[in-house]
Amino acid sequence: MKNIICIILFAFLIIFLQTHNQILVILWLLVSILLVKLDNTLKSFIITVLFFGIGFSLYLFIINILLVEIEIKELSILLSRLSLIIILLPMLLFSLFSHTKFNNYWNKPKWNETIFFPFIWSGIHSTKVSTFLIIAFTTNILIFIPLIILKGGAFFQDIWLVALVFSLTNAFFEEIIWRGTLLTRFSEQLGEKYAVIATSIGFGLQHYSLGFSWILCIVFSFGGFYYGGISVKSKSIFLSIIWHLILNLLMVFSGLILT
């Protein structure tokens, strides 16, 4: 029950910050303080979320206030994605001062570990991480290829640079945030399974700040679940970065984003 409360708290903070509801943010802080008073074991989780919230608030300020006047699309996209670094900085400081490892998944992937579908740790089918990744890539490509063909070669020529810049920066920094430092911290505090769920929900919900509907944010959360699952199973963030990069490229070339 405690882990469920933690996940709900995390999700609500992300929602409140993106909707710029200061009253609810203050209420969130008061509730969090009360929960820590009632159960001191929640302290490390609340502190982690607070440091994330500070960085996320600064990031939202940059993309919603400082970057809106930039007229050059490519530059605006690049700066927006580079601004994700701002989310990482408070968490990096927290890691340094608390003498905790910033990212436990900065390792060579363990390709032969077993992963289950659809629930990572259990399901109707099991396979190696390497096979799972091949199936995921193939499925994504088959889904998007018809949309990319419909867009035509001229569209590809016009957008390939924007697609590459966006996909590289977005995939790298989002994965460092969600499947790197937050998955590391939450795994220590909630256990790996709940950590994957928490980071997946948070990953999906934060897309609201990029102009996506809440429904699409929930859809992105499912993608985040498998990014997190493959990270914990392979003990590496590199596979989720590659998968995220490929999916971003496919989405841009199909015209689903950045158009």
CA 184, CA 179: separation in Å to the nearest integer?
A: 7
Q: Is the pLDDT confidence value at 155 over 90? A: no
| Least confident span in 72-81, 160-169, 190-199, 200-209 | 72-81
Q: Is the pLDDT confidence value at 59 over 90? A: yes
pLDDT band, residue 97 (cuts 50/70/90): confident
- Beta bridge partner(s), residue 187: none
Q: β-strands 123-128, 114-118: how paired?
A: antiparallel
Stated pTM of the model: 0.94
With CA atoms as reference, report the closest residue to 36 among 25, 49, 45: 45
Place of tokens 């905790």: 100
CB 59, CB 86: distance < 8 Å? yes
Structure tokens at 172: 């790298």
Over pLDDT 70: what percentage of the chain?
100
Inter-CA distances, 71 with 33, 75, 163, 244, Å = 43, 8, 18, 27
CA 204, CA 214: separation in Å to the nearest integer?
A: 9
